[in-house]
């Protein structure tokens, strides 16, 4: 199939040329135009308890300026409202499904009982409800997110607007005083009338979407196109970034600025790492520190730089284009006092490879795991509660597959034989084309059936998923 038939990416500059899209560009913003998603209201008065209501329902909202779009939304907003909790909290989510189809809510990355995971094993029918109840383990503060995970329909429901952030805070967060921004990244594509565009089945585009995963030509941060953030001279901001895209991998950079990468999927690193750019595969999260180092009054853009994750046959013609996500305005206000950062953020205890009892080999080929597509009635792997294991995940094909394990956080040991330079907790790791990644994981508790899969949602939906049973 010809890559030239792929959906053209509209450069963000073109969108910005329409004054209706972003009014603030060109002026000198005094305050952020980036809006945070609403925070879910805690209806509990009990200590250490977060109790919230979430409804998934069709809605008609303004996604693109001046147009109305039929969507699915959590509590009427895209992204859905942010779930905020603290380590040790008991979280109670009263979920109602008012969609015309079955769904689940999956708490991506969180260590919780299997029947609370919102996996395809526990669908909530249309009109049904489900109470998700779990405790947040100590030591797991981080940036998580939630999204639908029904059998075969995750990509469609996410494209329709179902995704939201889930922030777990630590009692002793060493950078809690820094101004914090949440950036939920998503992309989508639309018909001229503003409706969400899905490829006709059997079209060339649907084959491309199946291969690459569905990418959109409009890039959103918290549901906004090119919002802005203002930073003062000398200020240090903490940005929590969630890649909620179904397939797009972002390579983030801010021209003229070295980023301080301080955290990954499941929380802070021990130390900051300087990076010119940071690759964020779909479903990954990063925490980074952004500094007010630019010339007062000037603007730079948070860029998504080209990243070639594709097979040559279906690589989009304009894959090599950089795209702007957000405007960063260096204000002429100055921080009253210099910001000092801790040298150590937290201790990340090592999982000891000497304690691993098994090494599992997981082979990713196009659409399959270990030569099979998903079968809900099959158990692909068995393990014991309390066991520590090494997974050797090998990608034998010429495109990247971001690999995700439910329920249990892991530590990458090496990538293509190169030892990981430092420890971090992760729940998804991108496996580049023809590369292999080894990680170590401990099934601390929670017996049950756990999914592992490629997080390109089209691949997941079409069976690039398997089941680990822990007993």
Would you tell me which residues interact with ligand C2O (CB under 6 A)? 106, 108, 147, 149, 283, 404, 406, 451, 453, 455
> First-to-last CA distance in the chain?
45
- Residue 73 and residue 110: Cα distance in Å, rounded? 22
Residue nearer to ligand C2O on the CB measure, 147 or 248? 147
Q: Which is nearer to Cu ion, 257 or 366 (CB)?
A: 366
Interface stretch with Cu ion, choices 73-81, 118-126, 293-301, 454-462 (CB under 5 A): 454-462
Strand 90-97: give its sheet, edge to edge: 69-74, 49-61, 90-97, 129-135
Angstrom distance (rounded) from CA 143 to CA 165? 7
Q: Which is nearer to ligand C2O, 246 or 326 (CB)?
A: 246
Nearest residue to ligand C2O by CB is 108
Out of 221, 456, 465, 470, which residue is the one contacting Cu ion (CB under 5 A)? 456
In angstroms, rounded to a whole number, what is the distance separating the alpha carbons of residues 137 and 130? 22
| Cis preceding linkage at 79, omega within 30 | yes
Out of Cu ion, ligand C2O, none, which partner does residue 451 contact, by CB within 5 to 8 A per kind? ligand C2O
Residue nearest to Cu ion (CB): 454
**Residue 428 burial (C-beta neighbours within 10 Å; 0-12, 13-18, 19+):** buried
Neighbours of 67 (CB within 10 A): 13
Exactly one of 181, 285, 329, 406 binds Cu ion (CB under 5 A); which one? 406
The partner in contact with residue 401, picked from Cu ion, ligand C2O, none with C-beta cut-offs of 5 to 8 angstroms by kind, is: Cu ion
Would you count residue 326 as binding Cu ion (CB under 5 A)? no
Shortest Å, Cβ 335 to ligand C2O:
37
By beta-carbon proximity to ligand C2O, the closer residue of 85 and 105 is 105
Q: Which is nearer to ligand C2O, 149 or 459 (CB)?
A: 149
Nearer to ligand C2O, 75 or 119 (CB): 119
Q: Is residue 68 classed exposed, middle or buried when 0-12, 13-18 and 19+ CB atoms within 10 A define those classes?
A: middle
Please state the φ and ψ torsions of residue 157, each to the nearest 5 degrees: -70, -35
Q: Which does 453 bind (CB under 5 to 8 A by kind): Cu ion, ligand C2O, none?
A: ligand C2O
Nearer to Cu ion, 302 or 457 (CB): 457
- Residue 149 contacts which entry, ligand C2O, Cu ion, none (Cβ below 5-8 A, type-dependent): ligand C2O
219 binds Cu ion (CB under 5 A): no
**Minimum distance between the CB of residue 72 and ligand C2O, rounded to whole angstroms?**
17
Does residue 459 interact with Cu ion by CB under 5 A? Answer: yes
DSSP of 215-247, one letter per residue?
Answer: --SEEEETTBSS-EEEEEET-EEEEEEEE--SS
Closest CA to 433 of 400, 467, 389, 384: 400
Angstrom distance (rounded) from CA 170 to CA 177:
13
Q: Which residues of this chain interact with Cu ion, rule CB under 5 A? A: 108, 401, 406, 454, 456, 459
């Amino acid at each position: 199939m010809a890559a030239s038939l792929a959906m053209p990416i509209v450069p963000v500059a073109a969108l910005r040329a329409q004054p209706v899209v972003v009014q603030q560009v060109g002026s000198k913003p005094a305050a952020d135009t980036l809006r945070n998603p609403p925070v879910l209201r805690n209806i509990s008065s009990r200590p250490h308890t977060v109790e919230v209501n979430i409804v998934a329902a069709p809605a008609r909202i303004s996604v693109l300026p001046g147009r109305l779009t039929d969507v699915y939304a959590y509590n009427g907003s895209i992204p859905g409202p942010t779930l905020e909790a603290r380590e040790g909290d008991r979280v109670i989510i009263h979920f109602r499904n008012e969609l015309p189809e079955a769904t689940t809510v999956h708490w991506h990355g969180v260590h919780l009982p299997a029947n609370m995971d919102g996996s395809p094993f526990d669908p909530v029918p249309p009109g049904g409800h489900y109470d998700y109840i779990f405790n947040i383990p100590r030591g797991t503060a981080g940036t998580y997110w939630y999204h639908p995970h029904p059998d075969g329909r995750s990509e469609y429901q996410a494209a329709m607007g179902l995704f939201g952030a889930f922030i777990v805070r630590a009692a002793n967060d060493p950078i809690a005083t820094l101004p914090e921004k949440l950036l939920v990244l998503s992309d989508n594509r639309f018909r001229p009338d503003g409706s969400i565009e899905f490829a006709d089945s059997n079209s060339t585009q649907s084959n491309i979407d199946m291969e690459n995963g569905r990418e959109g030509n409009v890039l959103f941060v918290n549901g906004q196109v090119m919002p802005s953030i203002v930073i003062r001279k000398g200020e240090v901001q903490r940005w929590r970034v969630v890649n909620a895209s179904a397939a797009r991998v972002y390579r983030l950079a801010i021209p003229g600025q070295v980023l301080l990468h301080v955290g990954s999927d499941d929380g802070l690193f021990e130390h900051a790492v300087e990076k010119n750019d940071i690759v964020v595969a779909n479903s990954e999260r990063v925490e980074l520190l952004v500094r007010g180092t630019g010339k007062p009054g000037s603007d730079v853009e948070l860029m998504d730089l080209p990243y070639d994750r594709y097979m040559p046959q279906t690589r989009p013609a304009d894959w090599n284009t950089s795209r702007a996500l957000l405007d960063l305005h260096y204000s002429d206000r100055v921080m009253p006092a210099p910001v000092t950062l801790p040298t150590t953020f937290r201790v990340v205890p090592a999982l000891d490879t000497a304690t691993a009892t098994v090494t599992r080999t997981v082979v990713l080929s196009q659409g399959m795991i270990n030569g099979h597509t998903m079968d809900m009635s099959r158990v692909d792997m068995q393990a014991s509660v309390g066991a520590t294991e090494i997974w050797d995940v090998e990608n034998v094909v010429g495109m990247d597959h971001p690999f995700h394990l439910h329920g249990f956080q892991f530590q990458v040991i090496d990538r293509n034989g190169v030892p990981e330079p430092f420890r971090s907790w992760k729940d998804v790791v991108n496996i580049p084309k023809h590369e292999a990644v080894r990680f170590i994981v401990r099934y601390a508790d929670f017996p049950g059936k756990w999914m592992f899969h490629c997080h390109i949602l089209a691949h997941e939906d079409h069976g690039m998923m398997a089941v680990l049973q822990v007993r």
